[in-house]
Amino acid sequence: MNSRNKYGYLFIAPFFIVFSIFGIYPILLSLYMSFTDYKGIGSPFNANWVGLQQYARLLKDTYFLQAFINTWKIWGVNIILQLALALILAVIFSDVRLKLKGVSLYRAIFYLPNLMTVSSVALLFLFILDWQHGALNGLLLKAGFISKPVNWLGQPQTAQLSVSLIQTWLWFGHTFIIIFAGIEGISKDYFEAAMIDGASRTQTFFKVTLPLLKPIMIYVVITSLIGGLQLFEIPFLMSQNGLGGPEGSLVTMVLYLYNQAFKYRNFGYAAAVAYGLFFIILIFSIFVFKGMFKEEA
Gap between the terminal Cα atoms of the chain: 54
pLDDT in tens, 116-149: 889 899 999 999 998 888 899 999 999 888 888 8
Residue 41 lies in a domain: no
Q: Is the confidence at residue 175, as pLDDT, over 90?
A: yes
Residue 199 lies in a domain: yes
pLDDT in tens, 58-94: 999 999 999 999 999 999 999 999 999 999 999 888 8
Residue 292 lies in a domain: yes
Residue 98 lies in a domain: yes
Residue 11 lies in a domain: no
Residue 20 lies in a domain: no
DSSP state letters, 216-277 = HHHHHHHHHHHHHTT--HHHHHHSGGGS-SGGGTT--HHHHHHIIIIIS--HHHHHHHHHHH
CATH value at residue 215: 1.10.3720.10
Q: Report the domain count for the chain.
A: 1
Whole domain around residue 147: which residue ranges? 55-296
Residue 266 lies in a domain: yes
pLDDT band at 297 (very low <50, low <70, confident <90, very high): very low
Residue 247 lies in a domain: yes
Cα separation, 18 vs 8, whole angstroms: 17
